[in-house]
Amino acid sequence: MNATRAAEHRGDAGRERRLAHVLDRGGFTLQPASRAASEAADWAMAQTPSGARLLVVPSATHAGLLADFDGERGDHDGAPFLVGPPTARNAAALRRHLPWLEPRPLPPGTSAGFGDRLGLATPGHVRALQAVGGSIAPVFAQQSIREMTRTARSPQAVIDDATWGSFEAGWQEGQGADADHLKTTADITACADAGFTMYTIDPGEHVSRDADTAAPGELRAAWDALPWDRLEDSPASLRARLAGRAFDLEGESVQIDEGALVKAAVKYGRAVAHVTAMFRHLSAVMGGRPFDFEVSVDETDTPTTPAEHIFVAFELRRLGVRWASLAPRFVGRFEKGVEYIGDPAAFDADMRVHAAIARAFGPYKISLHSGSDKFSIYESAARHTRGRIHVKTAGTSYLEALRAIAIVAPELFRSVYAYALGRYEEDRASYHVSASLALAPDADGVPGGDCAALLEHFHVRQILHVTFGSVLTARHADGRPVFADAIRSTLQAHAEVYAGCLERHFVRHLRPFAGR
């Protein structure tokens, strides 16, 4: 629809001439994919000696819209245009005038989250989406509060970087924005103010670590101590609702006997109460604005059993929570940045039941967290969910940035890697990784031409993956960043190399899910 509208307005010869005039000024290089036309104006992005610039060329009847933008005004034969910097105000104005840049809730089919810790990856993500040609709905702005803290970025900066990246790459098919792994109501408020449309609640701290190994007496005591008031429930009514029930899920029966119910309630009851409180806070904060709600228990110690998934879905629904997607903790290990560790056949059986539960109690999407680089299970995940899936990746785009740097600036890559080796033991604490320093090669021992090959190395990938925050915020004694500016300027100077790395890497992720 937007593309058609854009085409209709391409014929405005006056605007075309003025845009050509702006570009004729020395040092302006048009980003061809960014060209867009609306009823009001022609729009484009150009690289200039002072960085990326927004070009706005309004129709004679819409010259007033330039007041919405910061920048340098000019005129050509008496008709105005504007050359503006990529500021937050300009990003907000651009989203108002080009509505396809405004984040919105996702459609029900396959979607993919592309975390982007550096804020420079969206053009490469767009290229991968276009290359697979399917109908995968993207989330370009996606960061957890943990990532924003570690990279010193604000929720608004995360949204704005995705706005500029998708504008530059000419993506007009819509996009979501995921405030990922939120843990507190304050997180929600900050992200709602910035315009996020998807809210991923991580109640992991409220999931009991002991339920799976507790003795029956301990389970009973923990059951009695559940927050029954916050659950708006009593032990007797929960038993009456669920104990002894059998759920028929597309031919497979899942029994919830008394023991399974007690264990599920002890393990996930507090998480259900927390998610409910977060949902109610979010609904109030959004005040009628639509949003996607995701429940993620992926970062917990033990797998979510089918009975536990049913318990969570049944109880959240009773409490009025409405969600678009849910991320169970699957069998096997979903470690950061590397292939699935476990038996793909066991994953296949697990995914089959979880997908059936999501259809029976929703339908809602199954969300695959730490979803990058798990090539051995994508086909299974796509098949069982029948396309109702969200695949979430985050750090793998940062690893592709380091691959691009290894190709064009091996010395910079070596110094980042050496620093990461020194930070790994401390930084790994909050991540699911198993890399060992003893098994990682030395930074100095690798010839420049071989640096990019390190990005195929299990231990190197994980070490680089979890140390991003230390690397991006490291400072010299005088306060200057040690790596962040060099990484960003190298990627900007070699934007084509970075986009190429991302496209190649993400095509492999998206293809198994495209066209479902």
Q: Which of 401, 403, 405, 444 is nearest to 421 (CA)?
A: 444
* 505 is a contact residue toward Zn ion (CB under 5 A): no
In the complex, the smallest distance separating the C-beta of residue 201 from Zn ion, rounded to whole angstroms, is: 11
Stretch that binds Zn ion, among 48-56, 268-276, 369-377, 458-466 (CB under 5 A): 369-377
In the complex, the smallest distance separating the C-beta of residue 470 from Zn ion, rounded to whole angstroms, is: 20
Stretch that binds Zn ion, among 43-51, 72-80, 367-375, 453-461 (CB under 5 A): 367-375
Give the catalytic positions in this structure.
180, 294
Measured from the CB atom, the residue of 15 and 392 that comes closer to Zn ion is 392
Whole-number Cα distances in Å, 356 to 107, 309, 395: 20, 11, 29
Measured from the CB atom, the residue of 309 and 369 that comes closer to Zn ion is 369
* 374 is a contact residue toward Zn ion (CB under 5 A): no
The rounded distance, in Å, linking the Cα atoms of 42 and 10 is 8
Whole-number Cα distances in Å, 439 to 117, 418, 455: 26, 14, 14
In this structure, are residues 28 and 22 in contact, taking their beta carbons and an 8 Å threshold? yes
In this structure, are residues 354 and 366 in contact, taking their beta carbons and an 8 Å threshold? yes
Measured from the CB atom, the residue of 201 and 420 that comes closer to Zn ion is 201
Measured from the CB atom, the residue of 111 and 166 that comes closer to Zn ion is 111
Pairing, β 79-84 against β 51-58: antiparallel
Measured from the CB atom, the residue of 140 and 431 that comes closer to Zn ion is 431
CA end-to-end distance (rounded Å), the chain? 22
* 298 is a contact residue toward Zn ion (CB under 5 A): yes
Q: Which of 127, 354, 369, 414 binds Zn ion (CB under 5 A)?
A: 369
Neighbouring C-beta atoms of residue 22, cutoff 10 Å: 21
In the complex, the smallest distance separating the C-beta of residue 179 from Zn ion, rounded to whole angstroms, is: 13
Measured from the CB atom, the residue of 391 and 471 that comes closer to Zn ion is 391
State the residue number with the nearest CB to Zn ion.
Answer: 369
In the complex, the smallest distance separating the C-beta of residue 336 from Zn ion, rounded to whole angstroms, is: 10
Count of residues in contact with Zn ion, rule CB under 5 A = 2
Stretch that binds Zn ion, among 8-16, 81-89, 162-170, 363-371 (CB under 5 A): 363-371
Q: Which of 33, 91, 46, 82 is nearest to 62 (CA)?
A: 82
In the complex, the smallest distance separating the C-beta of residue 335 from Zn ion, rounded to whole angstroms, is: 12
In the complex, the smallest distance separating the C-beta of residue 109 from Zn ion, rounded to whole angstroms, is: 21
The rounded distance, in Å, linking the Cα atoms of 54 and 65 is 14
Stretch that binds Zn ion, among 13-21, 185-193, 366-374, 471-479 (CB under 5 A): 366-374
Query: To which H or E segment does residue 271 belong?
Result: helix 258-286
Q: What is the dihedral of CA 425, 431, 433, 438, to 10 degrees?
A: -10
Query: To which H or E segment does residue 406 belong?
Result: helix 395-408
Residues forming the site for Zn ion (CB under 5 A): 298, 369
